[in-house]
Amino acid sequence: MLIEDALRRFLDEDIGHGDITTDALVDPAAKATGTVICKERAVVAGLSESIILLKLLGCEGKPRVRDGQEVPAGTIVLEVRGFGRALLKVERVLLNLLSHMSGVATATGELVDIAKKNRSSTRIACTRKTLPGLRFFEKKAVELGGGDTHRLRLDDAVLIKDNHLELAGSITESVRKAKTKVSFTKKIEIETTSPDQTVEAALAGADIVLLDNMTPQDVKKSMNLLEAKKLRDNVLVEVSGGITKKNLASYLKTGVDVISVGWITHSADAIDMSMKLHRLKKRD
């Protein structure tokens, strides 16, 4: 129901008080059928949302592929059917969401493929750097691309960052406070920017250490230091900041558990999609 509400808001935002072009030109009794074509290689995401959007305006949709499937350019991914006016009103919102979600899934899939080619078990994750109102859809797209959704919201886990430390105290003290005040069911993660801070976080009892904006060399130093002090098995190690397709392999070689990337949600290139409609004859 919450998903439907969000999708309905997307439609309301676009339609406003009505599609004056369509209402002026198209016979309200005219029916149409059509196809949505993916015009470039992509991991498709957003088909289930597309079906809901169509239903909200009294139309029908039939997927020709599945969410999470990689397809070549020129693939028909969805068939649509309904009153012409309704299909024209849903067209742009449907294509925008499908293009964006598929872009996120495709970008994620490319990073996951790099990890596989390097025979790495490191998880590729996104962050909370999502566009307002689109977090659920972007996180779902990451999952469909083979990635990890990380935290969905602030109440999912404790993540102590540099500004928390500035206002709340040292790494050790911040972890202590979190363990005292937050349920034992919630993991505690802390951001570090140097090998020494990484060791302090592990000694303090953090479940996850996030190495932020470190070079691959500094990440490896941190990993070696954790190993030397017999702390490596006590924590998951995540790396984030400045990760690209070009340097991902260098970070994979350090042996970290998770690599999180913000741009796969907020800056992934949209996939080129188009909808082609055809008017049905009255006997259809």
- Give the catalytic positions in this structure: 92, 129, 161, 191, 212
Phi, psi of 199, deg, nearest 5:
-65, -40
Strand partners of residue 240: 212, 260
CA–CA separation, 25 and 70 (whole Å): 38
Both structure tokens of 77? 């991914």
Residue type, 60: E
| Dihedral, 92, 98, 99, 105 alpha carbons, nearest 10 | 170
CA atoms within 13 A on the CB side of 207: 11
212 in helix, strand or coil? strand
Cα angle 23-101-45, degrees, rounded to a multiple of 5: 100
The C-alpha atoms of residue 282 and residue 133 are separated, in whole angstroms, by: 40
Beta strands (DSSP E) in the chain are 31-38, 42-43, 60-63, 70-71, 75-83, 123-125, 158-160, 188-192, 208-212, 236-240, 258-260, 273-279
